[in-house]
């Protein structure tokens, strides 16, 4: 059975991905920091092939513990390896305030939640993905390429994810495909915890997909490999999950 790991999987875009994957018959390990949202997710899919676990993706020990639990969950089901890492977790708030008031500690919170989390999850997932020639998809943001005032910490973290994406695509392909999606403002609707539901949504925008690999090398290059096709714009978490799973 196909298996996905989804970070930030208990709410927002991540919850939409989990909903879609389970609906398609996948096994899903959903990692999130929000225990209330995890409990709601687990209750919704009671008896389904779902592992809902608390994990801080920016913490090395927490990620290691999550993968130990995933390995045990897979082994119990007679499964080996995974097909997809959807690295979606991160601080959703894009605005960090004026740069002159931004503390180093707060700057690091954004980098750890998005970029360090993407690195730690990828490092642990690669051996499992190789067993099934799987795929990695990062949730970056349009803020990586077009910014708003006072969003430096978020924009830098998301821009770092794009750089990580194309570096990994070359390093891991063709055995493991690596891509990113760049959401704009997304109305996440259901699947948002009460805490996050209280945060204002400024607008609803679209999502673009970023593709690296085949066009970056001449046809004779030994590293040329078939990566995912770019997808048309979408505006809902369920559609994003389809782009990730294609």
Residue 116 DSSP symbol: I
Taking alpha carbons only, the member of 117, 160, 121 closest to residue 141 is 160
pLDDT at residue 136, rounded to an integer? 97
pLDDT at 244 over 80: no
| % pLDDT > 90, the chain | 70
The mean per-residue pLDDT over the stretch 156-167 comes to 96
The reply to whether omega before 54 is within 30° of 0 (cis) is no
Which residues are CB-contacts of 226 (< 8 A; sequence separation ≥ 6)?
Answer: 174, 213, 214
pLDDT of amino acid 229: 36
For residue range 37-90, list pLDDT tens digits in order.
Answer: 999 999 999 999 999 999 999 999 999 999 999 999 999 999 999 999 999 999
**Mean pLDDT to the nearest integer, 225-246:** 43
The pLDDT value given to residue 101: 97
> Is the confidence at residue 100, as pLDDT, over 70?
yes
Contacts of 219 (CB under 8 A, 6+ apart): none
Q: What's the topology of domain 3-245?
A: Rossmann fold (3.40.50)
Inter-residue contact 102 to 152 (CB < 8 Å):
yes
Catalytic residues: 154
Q: How high does pLDDT run on average in the chain?
A: 82
Predicted confidence at residue 144, as pLDDT, reads 87
* More confident call, 246 vs 170: 170
pLDDT value of position 149: 93
What average pLDDT does range 126-139 have in this prediction?
97
The string of DSSP codes covering 12-60 is HHHHHHHHHHHHTT-EEEEEES-HHHHHHHHHHTTTSSEEEEE--TT-H
Task: Give the pLDDT band of residue 185 (cuts 50, 70, 90).
Answer: confident
Decide if pLDDT at 204 tops 60: no
CA distance 229 to 208: 12
Q: Which sign does the torsion angle of CA 234, 159, 3, 209 carry?
A: positive
Confidence at 189, pLDDT banded by 50, 70, 90:
low
Residue where the block lists tokens 């990828």: 122
pLDDT tens profile 53-62: 999 999 999 9
Q: Is the pLDDT of residue 214 over 50?
A: no
* pTM for the full predicted model: 0.80
Dist CA 33 CA 23 (whole Å):
23
């Amino acid at each position: 059975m196909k298996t996905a790991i989804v970070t930030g999987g208990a709410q927002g875009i991540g919850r939409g991905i989990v909903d879609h994957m389970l609906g398609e018959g996948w096994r899903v390990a959903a990692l999130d920091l929000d225990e209330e949202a995890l409990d709601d997710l687990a209750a919704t899919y009671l008896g389904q092939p779902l592992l809902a676990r608390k994990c801080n993706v920016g913490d090395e020990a927490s990620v290691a513990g999550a993968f130990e639990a995933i390995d045990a969950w897979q082994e119990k089901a007679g499964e080996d390896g995974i097909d997809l890492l959807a690295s979606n977790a991160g601080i959703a708030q894009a605005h960090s305030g004026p740069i002159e008031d931004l503390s180093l500690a707060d700057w690091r919170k954004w980098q750890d939640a998005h970029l360090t989390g993407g690195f730690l999850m990828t490092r642990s997932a690669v051996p499992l993905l190789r067993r099934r020639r799987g795929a990695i998809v990062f949730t970056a943001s349009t803020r990586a390429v077009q910014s708003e005032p006072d969003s430096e910490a978020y924009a830098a973290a998301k821009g770092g994810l794009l750089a990580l994406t194309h570096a990994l695509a070359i390093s891991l392909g063709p055995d493991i495909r690596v891509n990113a999606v760049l959401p704009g403002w997304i109305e996440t609707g259901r699947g948002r915890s009460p805490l996050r539901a209280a945060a204002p949504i400024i607008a609803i925008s679209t999502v673009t997909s970023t593709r690296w690999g085949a066009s970056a090398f001449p046809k004779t290059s030994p590293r040329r490999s078939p990566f995912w096709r770019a997808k048309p714009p979408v505006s809902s978490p369920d559609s994003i999950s389809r782009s990730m799973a294609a």
